[in-house]
Structures are given as C-alpha cells and as structure tokens.
C-alpha cells in the first residue's frame, strides 16, 4: 500500500506533485537495501519501521531526481537489460519513487522465483 499523504495529515505534502510518500510493504526483504541505497547514492534519508513482516517506509521525495532513481535501479537491478526492452526516464518526485519501488520489487520477485526453481 502506498499513501501520498494529504496536507492535513502530520506527514505533510511539500510541493505540488512531490509528496512525502508512506509505503506499507509486506514481505519485501529488499526494502532495507533500498533505504541504504537511497542514503548512500542519493543522500536521501528515509524512515523504515519494521513490525514483523510489515515494513513502513516514509520518504520525502521533494529532492529526488530521475538520476537518483537511475542510480538505484542500476545497483538493485543488475540484469535490467534482460528485464526491460528499453529504458524510460522515471519522473522525479513521488511518482518516480513509486515506479522505482515497483520495478525493484518485480525484479526481486523474479530473482527469488529463479532461485526457488533452481533449488538454491
């Protein structure tokens, strides 16, 4: 579940089109790596709270650019050329963040399926 928080909430929208994003993720082990890459590659802090298998990720997307998302995808999806026939530029801000998360999640699911199919 992804929430683009409204201005009335305590997690305040910052500028038009760029919101603070709150994602509730179930059973996604890649999220810790995603947060580390946001910090190291993009100099962007994120809050990650874990409660069992549920992880809640909060990110202020106002400073995130298309280049930031490209760097994360290059690191987290090393076989991206095999997965995508062409590369689209991701939008900056919250839309790009959600797209980036979905692409990384799909890649991770594919990787896990391949590992399970080959008995590793």
Q: What is the pLDDT of residues 78-110, one digit of tens each?
A: 888 777 776 678 888 888 888 898 889 888 888
Q: What is the pTM of this model?
A: 0.76
- The pLDDT assigned to 71 comes to 92
Between CA 21 and CA 5 the distance in angstroms is: 7
Helices and strands: H and E segment counts in the chain: 4, 4
Per-residue pLDDT averaged across 42-51, rounded?
86
Instruction: With residue 54 as reference, give the H or E element that holds it.
Output: strand 54-60
Between CA 99 and CA 32 the distance in angstroms is: 17
């Amino acid at each position: 579940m992804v929430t683009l928080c409204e201005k009335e909430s305590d997690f305040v929208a910052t500028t038009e089109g760029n919101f603070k994003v709150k994602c509730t993720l179930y059973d996604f082990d890649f999220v810790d790596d995603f947060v580390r890459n946001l910090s190291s590659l993009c100099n962007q802090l994120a809050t990650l709270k874990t409660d069992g298998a549920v992880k809640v990720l909060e990110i202020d997307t106002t400073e995130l650019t298309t280049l930031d998302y490209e760097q994360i995808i290059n690191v987290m999806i090393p076989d991206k050329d095999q997965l995508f026939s062409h590369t689209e530029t991701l939008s900056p801000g919250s839309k790009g963040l959600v797209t980036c998360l979905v692409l990384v999640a799909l890649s991770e699911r594919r990787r896990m399926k391949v590992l399970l199919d080959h008995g590793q």
